[in-house]
Amino acid sequence: MSKEPVAVVGIGQTRHVAARRDVSIAGLVREAAQRALLDAELTWADIDAVVIGKAPDFFEGVMMPELYLADALGAVGKPMLRVHTAGSVGGSTALVATNLIAGRVHGTVLTLAYEKQSESNAMWGLSLPIPFQQPLLAGAGGFFAPHVRAYMRRSGAPDTVGSLVAYKDRRNALKNPYAHLHEHDITLEKVQASPMLWDPIRYSETCPSSDGACAMILTDRAGAARSPRPPAWLHGGAMRSEPTLFAGKDAVSPQAGKDCAADVYRQAGITDPRREIDAVEMYVPFSWYEPMWLENLGFADEGEGWKLTESGVTELDGDLPVNMSGGVLSTNPIGASGMIRFAEAALQVRGQAGEHQVEGARRVLGHAYGGGSQFFSMWLVGAEPPVL
Amino acid sequence: MTREIAVVAFGQTDHRRTSDELSEVEMLIPVLHDVLGQAGLKTGDIGFTCSGSTDYLAGRAFSFTMALDGVGAWPPISESHVEMDGAWALYEAWTKLLTGDADTALVYAYGKSSPGSVRDVLTRQLDPYYVAPLWPDSVALAALQAQALIDAGHADEPALAGVAARSRASAATNSHAQLSGSVPQGDYVVRPLRTGDCPPVGDGAAAVVLAAGDRARRLCARPAWIRGIDHRIEAHALGVRDLTDSPSTRLAAEKAGVFERPVDTAELYAPFTSQEVVLRRALRLDDRVTVNPSGGALAANPIMAAGLIRIGEAAARIHRGESDRALAHATSGPCLQQNLVALLEGDPR
């Protein structure tokens, strides 16, 4: 039994900013969904089901918001699913939507992820005291900084690599009209001079808090044939999870990430990711995660990822561009961040990434992770339909 | 040709008013062991895992991550989570099995309502700008629905009391139920709903194992085949809905194939007596159908697990040979806003 091929035919994002005070949560998500419909030249009536994701409900203070958002997303009378897999949720949400088509349950599905961080306080949302368990009182940076330090020690990377990533991503963001941070006066020196927040992570090597939403229209082969613009085709998608804390966990390069990438490459027939994949949108909330994930995803041998970054391979005009959109470092509506990676990968292979387009991008990887580096979701999209 | 997928094992906790001595993980682990044992599988044999729960009951963000540790996700597993009742986690797992990427799935759900006031907590589901600030609680909203039903002539208070009495009597044979036996009609909680018309507040967990095709036949003597499953959502605002009807339930049932032939059993997630009346009408159930032989949500209502339990109870009756064609229903949101219907069948005997 073969799966139905899945295509991305519509993509919409909001302009991501620190606070969208002009719209409600419903207004925000509808804006992204309408742009995706416009891109696909479809109407609400063409959508068979809606799959929505976001990070914890405490971030806005709305419990199970799919109930409240049913009307805004044209879901009344339709199936609506709500996915939540921590920071990887944007990617997972797209993959759950993908399965509805691949399993031939529905023909055309709207999938959307969002976060409106200005409605509440994410640091508070992550820091509720729990009996018998250490709360994340220092926020996500406090949790991840020791793992970055462990990577530096293991790989022998010079401590300048993190700032190179931040400088690159913030410059890439200048070419992306939807990116949150547009730092026109950014320099490498400014990144390096920014305050140390969680040693070794500096302020300018840290993601912002954004309001934003991202939507995609996914469809089957027949839907793709009607698409007015080139579709992006799914060549492989996978999720992997492992426990948060246990003695055998490698927090620098988690096994779940390696297994997830291997599954995607197997589905897509990729044997040498470094040569066969043209660009990557990866989830880099703190700059050092670029070299770390380059290794975890198989683009570099263990301990070698920082050399790719340092030699300019991951620059927009490099041999393996990473985070052409500016990445999570420039735009972080948490629940949407994973889906933005997936959507930006699709934009690249559709040739619609505008100023941050990588010339000739045919196969691009979208990557998301979450929790304590324990949840991974990835997809690989291509300009050509998959070979069945 | 779509793949045949079945529920091959079902387990649940004893549902209780409080479980202070247990963490969510401790509550869940025996149930996971139970269902895996029934199917003769280990965690590593499972192709896909999916869970349902809500952070708002746990009172913390990412509450499901600890439950995942309890599953034993090592080596890493293919896994997902819905911030919904476990019935929707089962739906996601079903779609995953349909793609052919996995042959077996573990689905679980849990909820501890005891640490807080669930009536207050559920107000946070409402429109955050216009409605939630008024804190209309879940019983008050259900009472609006019950009164609309009475005003429309579809029920009266004695009829509602009859639903409560039948549910609690059925629960007498369900060792997991929180409440069973005779029930006084009780005082009004919010008129016209009395204590007997409302669900107990409780803690609990449930799990099922799904398997595809021949794998299901090897794991279970009489698999409960999922012939159809569909879910639909309605508008959120109560003012734009006819509270005496449930069009989303009817549509989901139609898509699941329920109306093609009569069912013999219906497990309905109706936490309020009045909602059973609404659902019976929407699903065209007559007196020949055994409704909620487990006692339903009026006997045990562990939020986030109660919908999955309806599917599990319906499947277990098929496993035991007590049913040949059963429907299971789950709901979410105020006054039956979102509804899922699954149609389960056993092989001919």
- In order, the DSSP letters of A258-284 are HHHHHHHHHHHT-S-HHHH--EEE---
Tell me the chain A residues in contact with residue B247 when contact means C-beta distances shorter than 8 Å: 77
Asked if the C-beta of A137 comes within 8 angstroms of chain B's C-beta atoms, the answer is no
Whether residue B209 is found in the same domain as residue B256: no
Q: Which long-range contacts (CB under 8 A, 24 or more apart) does A186-191 make?
A: A188/A163, A188/A164, A191/A163, A191/A166, A191/A167
Whether residue B176 is found in the same domain as residue B312: yes
Q: What is the pLDDT of residues B136-168, one digit of tens each?
A: 999 999 999 999 999 999 999 999 999 999 999
Asked if the C-beta of A239 comes within 8 angstroms of chain B's C-beta atoms, the answer is yes
Cα of B309 vs its chain's centroid, Å: 5
Whether residue B59 and residue A128 make contact (CB cut-off 8 A), yes or no, is yes
Cβ neighbours of residue B201 closer than 8 Å, sequence gap 6 or more: B17, B113, B114, B118, B301
How far is the CA of A206 from the CAs of A139, A307, B216, in angstroms? 12, 21, 49
| Residues in chain A with pLDDT values less than 50 | none
Whether residue A83 and residue B82 make contact (CB cut-off 8 A), yes or no, is yes
Across the A/B interface, how many CB contacts are shorter than 8 Å? 194
d(CA B193, CA B295): 18
Tell me the chain B residues in contact with residue A104 when contact means C-beta distances shorter than 8 Å: 2, 98
CB A280 within 8 A of CB A349: no
Whether residue A62 and residue B132 make contact (CB cut-off 8 A), yes or no, is yes
**Could you tell me which of A243, A42, A24 has the C-alpha nearest to residue B66?**
A243
Whether residue B187 is found in the same domain as residue B52: no
- What is the average pLDDT score of chain B? 96
Shortest Cα–Cα distance, B189 to chain A (Å):
24
- Specify if A59 maps to a domain: yes
Structural domain of B9: 5-117+201-219
Whether residue A255 and residue B1 make contact (CB cut-off 8 A), yes or no, is no
CB A17 within 8 A of CB A211: yes
pLDDT at B59: 87
- Specify if B306 maps to a domain: yes
Number of structural domains in chain A: 1
Whether residue B84 and residue A64 make contact (CB cut-off 8 A), yes or no, is yes
Whether residue B144 is found in the same domain as residue B84: no
What are the DSSP E strand ranges found in chain A? 7-13, 49-53, 80-83, 108-116, 196-198, 201-202, 211-219, 232-241, 279-281, 363-370, 375-382
pLDDT at A99: 98
Shortest Cα–Cα distance, B333 to chain A (Å):
6
Q: Last residue of a domain, which of B162, B187, B219?
A: B219
Whether residue B150 is found in the same domain as residue B15: no
A27: domain CATH number is 3.40.47.10
Tell me the chain A residues in contact with residue B77 when contact means C-beta distances shorter than 8 Å: 240-242
- Specify if B131 maps to a domain: no
Lowest model confidence (mean pLDDT) among A351-355, B64-68, B265-269: B64-68
pLDDT at A129: 67
CB B222 within 8 A of CB B346: yes
pLDDT at A387: 87
Q: What is the ipTM of this complex?
A: 0.97
Whether residue A67 and residue B1 make contact (CB cut-off 8 A), yes or no, is no
Question: Residue A18 in 3-state DSSP?
Answer: coil
d(CA A176, CA A216): 18
Asked if the C-beta of B91 comes within 8 angstroms of chain A's C-beta atoms, the answer is yes
Percent of chain B's residues with pLDDT above 90: 92
Residue A257 main-chain phi, psi, to 5 deg: -65, -40
Question: Residue B212 in 3-state DSSP?
Answer: strand
Q: What is the pLDDT of residues B185-210, one digit of tens each?
A: 889 999 999 999 999 999 999 999 99
Confidence category of residue B70, pLDDT binned at 50, 70, 90: confident
- Specify if B32 maps to a domain: yes
Whether residue B110 is found in the same domain as residue B182: no
Cβ neighbours of residue A121 closer than 8 Å, sequence gap 6 or more: none
B23: domain CATH number is 3.40.47.10
Q: Which long-range contacts (CB under 8 A, 24 or more apart) does A136-139 make?
A: A138/A198
Whether residue B266 is found in the same domain as residue B328: yes
- Specify if B336 maps to a domain: yes
Number of structural domains in chain B: 2
Asked if the C-beta of A94 comes within 8 angstroms of chain B's C-beta atoms, the answer is no
d(CA A110, CA A125): 28
DSSP state of A386: P
pLDDT at A131: 57
Q: Which residue has the tokens 């689905």?
A: B107
Confidence category of residue B126, pLDDT binned at 50, 70, 90: very high
Whether residue A70 and residue B233 make contact (CB cut-off 8 A), yes or no, is yes
Helix (H) / strand (E) element for B274: namely helix B273-282
Whether residue B323 is found in the same domain as residue B174: yes
Asked if the C-beta of A248 comes within 8 angstroms of chain B's C-beta atoms, the answer is yes
DSSP structure string for A299-359? SS-TT-HHHHHHTTTTSTTSSS-B-TT-HHHH---HHHHHHHHHHHHHHHHHT--GGGPPT
| Residue of A77, A96, A256 lying closest to B251 (CB–CB) | A77
Whether residue B82 and residue A70 make contact (CB cut-off 8 A), yes or no, is no
Q: Last residue of a domain, which of B159, B189, B219?
A: B219
- Give the number of other CB atoms < 10 A from CB of residue B14: 14
| Residue of B55, B69, B92 lying closest to A244 (CB–CB) | B69
Residue A157 main-chain phi, psi, to 5 deg: -65, 140
- Specify if A269 maps to a domain: yes
Residue of B nearest to A86 (CA): B62
pLDDT at B183: 74
Instruction: Give this prediction's pTM.
Output: 0.97
Whether residue B79 is found in the same domain as residue B150: no
Amino acid found at B286: D
Residue of A nearest to B73 (CA): A242
pLDDT at A138: 62
Amino acid found at B305: A
Whether residue B94 is found in the same domain as residue B215: yes
Whether residue B30 is found in the same domain as residue B161: no
Whether residue B88 and residue A82 make contact (CB cut-off 8 A), yes or no, is yes
Asked if the C-beta of B69 comes within 8 angstroms of chain A's C-beta atoms, the answer is yes
Asked if the C-beta of B22 comes within 8 angstroms of chain A's C-beta atoms, the answer is no
Whether residue B43 is found in the same domain as residue B91: yes
Amino acid found at B278: V
- Give the number of other CB atoms < 10 A from CB of residue A175: 17
- Specify if A239 maps to a domain: yes
Structural domain of A295: 5-118+206-380
Whether residue A83 and residue B59 make contact (CB cut-off 8 A), yes or no, is no
Q: Helix crossing, A289-296 with A139-155: angle to 10°?
A: 60
pLDDT at A244: 84
Whether residue A126 and residue B61 make contact (CB cut-off 8 A), yes or no, is yes
Whether residue A68 and residue B236 make contact (CB cut-off 8 A), yes or no, is yes
Residues 158-187 on B with a CB inside 8 Å of A are none
Asked if the C-beta of A244 comes within 8 angstroms of chain B's C-beta atoms, the answer is yes
Tell me the chain A residues in contact with residue B56 when contact means C-beta distances shorter than 8 Å: 57-58, 63-64
Residue of B nearest to A4 (CA): B99
Q: What is the pLDDT of residues B206-262, one digit of tens each?
A: 999 999 999 999 999 999 999 999 999 999 999 999 999 999 999 999 999 999 999
- Specify if A250 maps to a domain: yes
- Specify if B349 maps to a domain: no
- Give the number of other CB atoms < 10 A from CB of residue A184: 7
Enumerate the β-bridge partners of residue B206.
B12, B109
